[in-house]
Amino acid sequence: MRVIEDEDALLPPSNKGPYKFDYNQLSDEERKHYDLLSPEEKTQYQDAEKTIFDHMNSPAVESKLQSEIGQAVHEVNLETPRDPAIPEKIKEGLFAMGETDPQDTGEDGDFEGNDITSTAHGELEQHREMREYARIAAWEMPMLSKLAKPFVLPGADKPLRFRYTTYMGETHPAEKKVVLEFCTRDLPDLTEAQRNKLIKIVGVRYNPETDLVKMSCEMFETQAQNKRYLGDLVDTLMAEARDPTDMFEDVPFDFRHHRYKPKMQFPEQWKVTEGRKAQLQATWRRRALADKEREQQGTLVDGVEVIEKMLENVIAQEAAPRAAVKGPAAKARPKRLPR
């Protein structure tokens, strides 16, 4: 193994010129993904590549890379076999402390004890994962903030709504699924007859209450392919709805697939009106006057007092049988005979 002397030889060639997107430098997989993108998404892809290029060519990043490469070169040089003609200095081990000639003892031997438990390995793996996310938050998240855009409500020229599913970096079979929703009245250049034909074509995917058509696709491996398929499917439906050859006028609407949920409404006769409020207040005042008259006459029943008397009677009735059973049992107890 040779000793590395020139650290600059390990650095990639620096490109100080302005960024220029080159389609030929993409890999085969990246080209397939790039060809599936729309013109707007291609522009966003090139802007993201330019942001990464500017970040990697900044002086701070280059200085960081040079320092890490220098450290790696130093570690490689330490592992390189030394010249046999040059005597190697023996390191003093822990067990050589206090000896007259520590060089005679040499280094400590390799640790041959048991390894840590599987639980401890799990804790270390969790710690490594947290450090990885900390590095992402420190180095990659600030770059994403430059691509943030304020939310703008979609206009009438964008009637399609796509919904995606993500599992935050984890691989899942349902991640490739894309769901499309659109309102039939928002589609441009459709007459009422053409809209009715479109509703009959989509069938059970139409919701008559909300006037929404919902469909999904997960046949392909990527979300971009499934989205493109749904977009082409909508174009095909629009072309078929505008075809005047057969407008399906003899086909009736069939909404048996949709279950109408009953919407409960509060009865009008149960609502408290001003007249009902006045009637209730008059009734309450009349009852209060009647209770006051009974209290003056001494005929008002006190519920608390009635409950206390009832509890006293119950306790007395339970104590009487116990006393009756205890007396005869004590008299009938046999005497112990002398031994």
Q: How far is CA 3 from the centre of its chain?
A: 50
Side chain identity at residue 162, one-letter code:
F
Cα distance between residue 159 and residue 232, in whole Å: 15
Phi-psi region of 261 (alpha: psi -120 to 50; beta: other; left: phi over 0): beta
Length of the chain: 339
Nearest residue to 5 (alpha-carbon basis) of 88, 82, 74: 74
Q: In what order do the strands lie in the sheet with 212-217?
A: 161-164, 178-183, 212-217, 206-207
Query: Which whole number is the average pLDDT over 158-177?
Result: 90
299 is written with which tokens?
Answer: 């005929």
Put simply, whether the predicted model's pTM sits higher than 0.75 gets the answer: no
Q: Check pLDDT > 70 for residue 173.
A: yes
Phi-psi region of 117 (alpha: psi -120 to 50; beta: other; left: phi over 0): beta
pLDDT tens-digit profile of 209-249?
999 999 999 999 999 999 999 999 999 999 999 999 999 99
What is the pLDDT, as a whole number, of residue 332?
52
Cα distance between residue 328 and residue 330, in whole Å: 5
Q: Check pLDDT > 50 for residue 1.
A: no
Mean per-residue pLDDT of the chain? 82
By the 8 A CB rule, do 215 and 198 touch? no
By the 8 A CB rule, do 197 and 241 touch? yes
pLDDT tens-digit profile of 5-14?
454 555 555 5
Beta strand 178-183 with 206-207 is unpaired
What is the pLDDT, as a whole number, of residue 99?
64
Number of H helices, E strands in the chain: 9, 4
What is the pLDDT, as a whole number, of residue 15?
55
